[in-house]
Each structure stands twice: as structure tokens, then as C-alpha cells.
Structure 1
């Protein structure tokens, strides 16, 4: 159980309603409180500033905040609620206000877009800015047009069909996993810990996906499914295989050993795939409960304001919730 709250960032839009309900579930799973945060619109902030400067006692103490009433109505109809729900109206710009309040959070959950925007795009400017700067993990929940749960198609590739190397897994079996994008040599420990903790509280599997680069060859023109191989299957047996793939899986296994020991009840699947890591994770997002990636490029500092290329691409194209996890301690 964590004492840090889950924060839901809302603005009264349909996108933030999805984030609010996702955050409610996260708080219940983690046994912690829920803090619902709303950044007041500019006209409400101007009113507050004017009243303070004029000291006009005839004016109401606060500008009405309809989002507060909306939140109460939405949560009032929920079957289960976490212990300790608070609501805070914030002032300032959306990214800065959420960055400050996120300093003490277990995670911050927000919709992919606020009011307006293009339905074909996943990410709005505020969501992108918060994911790039918040001091806690940020979960971005997609709007309906991007959510695989509302998609009648099943996509392509193994992550969309649930196939494994043996071809025996179905799409129903692949649903609900926590997918972790891992660069074995560079992904910070905080990212791995977040993914395993999420899988633990959900009672589900972690699927670890790493990508490797190989010289172009005719064999790579045709995409092939994930090869999910258990650690005991990595011993040299003289059957050849793809050397880069097997070395990637061995590197994964070494990196995952401490997490397996810490979370012995969390099943782990390992996948090493050729090509673009972001594209593979976007495919995996169609059937995943959550995709977890690190925020920063490893050559940037922990406090960098720029998001890494893989995280950036996954945020813009994913079909399900994505957690962007910063380096919570500067050990780079």
C-alpha cells in the first residue's frame, strides 16, 4: 500500500472523464487516495486576481467551478471509491500547475486531449508538456477514436493477434498484460519497478519488449511475430537462431533478475524483435492494459525537459493507456 495519492487531472471534457475513471481504478488497486485536480480557466484566475487586488468584500469568495460539481456527479455514480478523495482547483498554466502538484504523487493520470482538438491525433499540447516535465509517472489515457477497445480492427503483427513463437496464444490470452519497453543497458530501474508493480497489483503478466537492429536482408521484408522465449530456452543448443535476438534475450534476463526476485508472483514474457521499438510497442498497445516506457533518452540528464524519441512516438500513436516514467533519482 502506498501513501502517495493517484492524481487525476480533469477539465470536464469526455477525455478527462476517461482519465478520472482510470485513476479511480488505479487508486483502488494500489490502496491509496485519489486527488482530483483541475486547473482553473484563465477567466476564473483573472477574477481571483482582481478580487484579491481590490479587496472587494462584496464579491463572492471564489469563482464558481463547475468542474468540481461535474466530478462529484461522476464519482457519485461509481460502484467503488478509494478511501480519501480530495479535489483541488489550481492556478497557473496547466503544465506548471500539474508539475508542482505531481511532486508527491504515485502517478498522474490525464486524458490525451482536452476540449477540442483533432480526433485522429492522440496527444494534445498540455498532455505532451505534462508527460515531458512531471516529477512522477504520467499515465495518458487515449480518447475513444484511438482506444483499441473501440476499434473493430485487430491490427497487424503478433502483439495485435496475441501470437507467440509457438503460435498457440490467442488474442484473449494477450489482453491485459503490462507491456514494458526495455533497453537492457539503458532503461532506468524506476521504469522496470513501475511496470512490475502495476502487473503485481493487477495480477497480470509483464511482457518485456526489446528491439534490435540487424543488417537488411530479404528475410526481414516479411514481418514476423514476437518470439516469446523463457530464460531456460536461451542456453546454447547448437540450433543457431538469430544471434542478435538471442543476445538481446540474454541481456533482458540478466536485467530482469532483481525484478523477478522482488515480484516472484508476476509472470514474465520476454520478446526480442527486429526493427523499430516504438512501432512494436504501439502494436502491443492494442491488447495491453498498459504500456510502460521511460521518459528520457539515456544521454540526457534526469531533469531534461525533452522527451525521448520512443516515448514521444508511443504517446502519439498508442491505442491504449501509456505510462511515461521519469528517472525518479538522478543516478545517470
Structure 2
């Protein structure tokens, strides 16, 4: 594949087929290839190892691969396919096999379901999904199972009309050209810490919005000291950029957060002038706000962890959003960590 492909990790479960469909449409919108990867079941891996060790030419060269055959049939029934579709049957543990193929293929993203065939039905996030999202060298999109779809929303986080309390403006940095009605439906939601989020996370969110022809909603949280009048779960408090120059009625922390957002987003606005942007500064819990926003989002994009903390653990915000979001979540690592040092 000449361009970086989209990898879909499948195991034949309904959860992975939702991820496969999401990956198929993502590859189509980006005009790139689709690499369908699945880890062989234990019995097939044992057979492959036995045949290799015995060097027996009488043994059939091909072993049973029911998942690969089934997925091929599913894609053959799809209304459209990316320019190139390739299949890979992998050996080893699921997280390690997917981590290796992601490192080798250098994909645009790796897409997988939130749960596979194993585990308990009540799990919000499977161990394989968590492990891959925590260690992969590329962005990982986790598509939640159907039970987590927002009421009235489309499957897999497909577009749904707007979110109340959010100020929309077009690519104009002064917010003077609002988009047409419905332009923010199915938006890409970006969780942004203006001082810490790596540039790779912003680039991924804007590129995805450009490919989809939709809006980027940027959500940042600011700390609020506890007080008797604090309102829990209040709607987004948003100030348009043109209002930042006057006194306004917003709290200083909110105004400062919006200023920091505007400064950080300036290079992305120049690079993607066709992408409308919404800015939201919210008090308190960033993860909770992003989960709320996921009800009407096509995709929520978060950074994996602080770029300067060389930890293998996922950040608390990314972990919470993965656990509870109502639609697909992209966990993006710092792809060029040396540049963020």
C-alpha cells in the first residue's frame, strides 16, 4: 500500500465488525487502503507450529481460518471498498501481534472494537483494547459496543445533530462566519490541554475533520475551587473568540483558557482553513465533558498521556473516555516525542 493504510483488527465478533465498518468508511474518506488483521485462534497457531517443526510436506499448507473467511464475506457485501484491501493472519498474543503489525505497517490508524469474543459481557473495555491503545505506535480508534450507543444516536458514533450550549464559528479566526445549519453535526471532538497536548493529537483531529468535511469542537477544562454555588453538570460555558477582547461576564480562568486555546489552535487554522472550529472551556472534569460530547460526535480525540512522562500507563482522561464514551474514541500517542521534549 503506497499511502499509510487503515488497519482494522477483527476477531469475527459483532464488536469487531462494527470496528471493521468504521475502518472501511475511514479508509474510503481518506482515499487509502484497508488492512484487515486478525490473530489466529490457538488451534490454528498450534497447527502452524506443528507443521513448521515437523517439516512434513504431506500436511496441508493451509490451515483453517474461519475468521478470515467470514470477514472476507462481510466485506464482499459492502457497498464500496477502499482502493486496496489486504488481509493478514497473525500469530501470538492479540496485543503483541497488533502492536507489531502497527509498527511494521506504520498505519494512519488502527481500529478495533471495545470488546472481543472473550471477557465478561458487562465489561466496558476489554483487556486487549486497553493494551493496544496503551502501547501501539500509531493512533488507535476504539469503537464501543452497541450497548453504549447514545439514546437516539446512530450506531458507532455516527453524526447526530448538535450539542446545546456550544458556540460555533467558521474557519474565520474571529468567528464572523458561522457555518450553515447542521454543519457541526457529527463533529470531531478534541480534548485539549493547551500547554501539554502533543501536536500530533491536534493534527490527527483536524485531518479527520477535514476528511469528513465536519467541525472540530475543542474542549478544555479549567480548575474551579469548590464553593457553595458550584453547579454540577452545568452546560458548556463558551465565549466566541471576538468576545475575548472585552471584559465579558466569564470567569477569569475561563477567559484565560479560551485565550490559550486560540493561541494553540492558530497554526491548525492556517493549515486547515476549510475546517470550522468550535471552542469550549468547561469547569472541572474534562473526561466527563468529553463523554457527554461523545453522544453527538463522530469521533472523540484524546492524547494518550503527558508527552514528558515516559510512562507506559495511559493518562486518566484517556482511560476514562475510553471506558465510558458513547461513540468511537481515538487515542493518539506522541508520534514525534523528541519534538515535544
Superposed CA deviations along residues 19-67 of structure 1, whole A, max 9, x for unmatched, are: 1100000000110000000111122111111111111122111211011
Superposed CA deviations along residues 245-275 of structure 1, whole A, max 9, x for unmatched, are: 0000000000000000000010000000001
> What SS does the corresponding residue of 1:296 show, helix, strand or coil?
coil
CA separation in 2, counterparts of 1:286 and 1:95? 28
40-49 or 237-246, larger mean C-alpha shift: 237-246
State the match for 1:325 in structure 2.
Answer: 332
State the match for 2:145 in structure 1.
Answer: 143
> What SS does the corresponding residue of 1:16 show, helix, strand or coil?
helix
CA separation in 1, counterparts of 2:324 and 2:2? 31
**Offset, 1:306:** 1.3
State the match for 1:274 in structure 2.
Answer: 283
- The TM-score normalised by the length of structure 1 is 0.91
> What SS does the corresponding residue of 1:272 show, helix, strand or coil?
strand
Give the 3 Å change call, closer, same or farther, for CA 145–48 of structure 1 in structure 2: same
Kindly report structure 1 stretches of 4+ aligned residues shifted beyond 4 Å: 149-152, 171-174
CA separation in 2, counterparts of 1:138 and 1:166? 29
RMSD: 2.3
The alignment of Structure 1 onto Structure 2 pairs a total of residues equal to 321
> What SS does the corresponding residue of 1:218 show, helix, strand or coil?
coil
State the match for 1:20 in structure 2.
Answer: 20
**Offset, 1:319:** 0.5
CA separation in 2, counterparts of 1:310 and 1:123? 15
Structure 1 counterpart of 2:187, from 172, 177, 180 = 177
Give the 3 Å change call, closer, same or farther, for CA 89–208 of structure 1 in structure 2: same
2:204 is the alignment partner of 1:203: no
State the match for 2:201 in structure 1.
Answer: 191
**Offset, 1:78:** 0.8
CA separation in 1, counterparts of 2:2 and 2:115? 28
**Offset, 1:160:** 9.8
Asked if 2 retains the 8 angstrom alpha-carbon contact of 1:160 and 1:283, the reply is: no
Asked if 1 retains the 8 angstrom alpha-carbon contact of 2:261 and 2:279, the reply is: yes
State the match for 2:175 in structure 1.
Answer: none
Structure 2 counterpart of 1:223, from 208, 223, 233 = 233
319-328 or 119-128, larger mean C-alpha shift: 119-128
- The TM-score normalised by the length of structure 2 is 0.89
State the match for 2:42 in structure 1.
Answer: 42
Gapped regions of structure 2 (runs ≥ 5) = 155-159, 169-178
Give the 5 Å matches for 1:1-332.
Answer: 3-103=3-103, 104-148=106-150, 162-164=163-165, 175-235=185-245, 237-301=246-310, 304-331=311-338, 332=341
CA separation in 2, counterparts of 1:330 and 1:322? 21
Gapped regions of structure 1 (runs ≥ 5) = 153-158
Give the 3 Å change call, closer, same or farther, for CA 11–150 of structure 1 in structure 2: farther
CA separation in 2, counterparts of 1:309 and 1:144? 24
> What SS does the corresponding residue of 2:280 show, helix, strand or coil?
strand
Asked if 2 retains the 8 angstrom alpha-carbon contact of 1:174 and 1:288, the reply is: no
